[in-house]
Amino acid sequence: MKTSIVGFPRVGKLRELKFVTEKYFRDEVSEQELKEEGRKLREEHWTLQKESGLDYIPSNEFSYYDGVLDAAVLFNIIPNRYQELRLSEQDTYFAMARGYQGDHGDVKALAMKKWFNTNYHYMVPEIEDSTQIRLAGTKPLEEYKQAKDLGIETKPVLVGPFTLLKLAHYLGEKKAKDFRDDLAASYVELLGELADLGAELVQLDEPCLVKDITKEDLTLFLQLYSTILEKKGSLKILLQTYFGDIRDCYQEIVGLDFDAIGLDFIEGKKTLELLRNYGFPKDKVLFAGVINGKNIWRNSYEKSLHILKDLESKGIQTVVSSSCSLLHVPFTLENETKWDRSITEHFSFAKEKLSELADLKKLTESADYEKEESYQKNVALFAKDRQAEDPAVQARVAAIKESDFTRLPAFDDREKVQKERFQLPLLPTTTIGSFPQTADVKAERTKKKKGEITEEEYNTFMKDKIAECVKMQEDIGIDVLVHGEFERNDMVEYFGENMSGFLFSEKAWVQSYGTRCVKPPIIWGDVSRKNPITVTWSSYAAGLTDHPMKGMLTGPVTILNWSFPREDISIKESTYQIGLAIRDEVLDLEKNGISIIQVDEAALREKLPLRKEDWYTDYLDWAIKAFRLVHSGVKPETQIHTHMCYSEFTDIIRAIDDMDADVITFEASRSNLEILDSLQENRFQTEVGPGVYDIHSPRVPSEEEIYAALEKMLAKVEKTKLWVNPDCGLKTRGNKEVKPSLENMVKAAKRMREAIQ
Active centre residues (catalytic): 696
50 sits near ligand GLN (criterion: CB under 6 A):
no
Among 731, 738, 742, 746, binds ligand GLN (CB under 6 A): 731
CA dist., res. 27 & res. 21, Å (int): 10
Q: Which stretch binds Zn ion (CB under 5 A): 334-342, 384-392, 458-466, 595-603?
A: 595-603
Using a 10 angstrom Cβ sphere, with 0-12 exposed, 13-18 middle and 19 or more buried, the burial of residue 304 is buried
Rounded to the nearest 5 percent, the helix, strand and coil shares of the chain are 45, 15, 40
Question: Measured at the alpha carbon of residue 210, what is the angle toward residues 154 and 113, in degrees to the nearest 5?
Answer: 80
List binders of ligand GLN among 639-658 (CB under 6 A).
643, 645
Torsion-angle region of 477 (φ positive above 0: left; ψ -120 to 50: alpha; else: beta): left
228 sits near ligand GLN (criterion: CB under 6 A):
no
Q: In the bound complex, what is the minimum distance in angstroms from residue 114's beta carbon to Zn ion?
A: 12
CA dist., res. 551 & res. 223, Å (int): 54
Radius of gyration of the chain (CA): 26
DSSP 430: B
Between 485 and 504, how does the x/- string for binding to ligand GLN read (CB under 6 A)?
x-----x-------------
> In 3D, which of 572, 557, 562 has the Cα closest to residue 604?
557
Q: In the bound complex, what is the minimum distance in angstroms from residue 408's beta carbon to ligand GLN?
A: 27
Q: Which stretch binds ligand GLN (CB under 6 A): 307-315, 377-385, 528-536, 723-731?
A: 723-731
Among 110, 350, 432, 679, binds ligand GLN (CB under 6 A): 432
Q: In the bound complex, what is the minimum distance in angstroms from residue 303's beta carbon to ligand GLN?
A: 34
The smaller minimum CB distance to ligand GLN, of residues 336 and 485, is found at: 485
The smaller minimum CB distance to Zn ion, of residues 510 and 602, is found at: 602
Q: Which does 266 bind (CB under 5 to 8 A by kind): ligand GLN, Zn ion, none?
A: none
The smaller minimum CB distance to ligand GLN, of residues 156 and 690, is found at: 690
The smaller minimum CB distance to ligand GLN, of residues 552 and 578, is found at: 552
Which helix H or strand E contains 126, and what residues bound it?
Answer: strand 126-127
Q: In the bound complex, what is the minimum distance in angstroms from residue 520's beta carbon to Zn ion?
A: 16
DSSP 144: H
Q: How many whole angstroms from its chain centre is CA 285?
A: 31
The closest residue (CB) to ligand GLN is 729
Q: Which stretch binds Zn ion (CB under 5 A): 149-157, 239-247, 508-516, 600-608?
A: 600-608
The CA-to-CA distance between both ends of the chain, in Å, stands at: 72
Q: In the bound complex, what is the minimum distance in angstroms from residue 112's beta carbon to Zn ion?
A: 12
602 sits near Zn ion (criterion: CB under 5 A):
yes
Q: In the bound complex, what is the minimum distance in angstroms from residue 643's beta carbon to Zn ion?
A: 6
Which helix H or strand E contains 704, and what residues bound it?
Answer: helix 703-714
Residues in the chain: 757
The smaller minimum CB distance to ligand GLN, of residues 644 and 679, is found at: 644
Cβ–Cβ < 8 Å for 703, 688: no
Question: Measured at the alpha carbon of residue 595, what is the angle toward residues 592 and 628, in degrees to the nearest 5?
Answer: 100
Compute how many other C-beta atoms are within 10 angstroms of the C-beta atom of residue 613: 10
Instruction: Tell me the number of residues near ligand GLN by CB under 6 A.
Output: 13
Q: How many whole angstroms from its chain centre is CA 480?
A: 29
Between 429 and 448, how does the x/- string for binding to Zn ion read (CB under 5 A)?
--------------------
274 sits near ligand GLN (criterion: CB under 6 A):
no
Q: In the bound complex, what is the minimum distance in angstroms from residue 665's beta carbon to ligand GLN?
A: 9
DSSP 618: I
Q: Quick check: bond before 161 cis, omega within 30?
A: no
600 sits near ligand GLN (criterion: CB under 6 A):
yes
The sign one gets for the Cα dihedral 385, 390, 391, 397 is: negative
CA dist., res. 304 & res. 3, Å (int): 13
The smaller minimum CB distance to Zn ion, of residues 602 and 668, is found at: 602
Q: Which stretch binds Zn ion (CB under 5 A): 166-174, 591-599, 608-616, 724-732?
A: 724-732
Residues in contact with Zn ion by CB under 5 A are 602, 645, 728
Residues in contact with ligand GLN by CB under 6 A are 432-434, 485, 491, 552, 600, 602, 643, 645, 728-729, 731
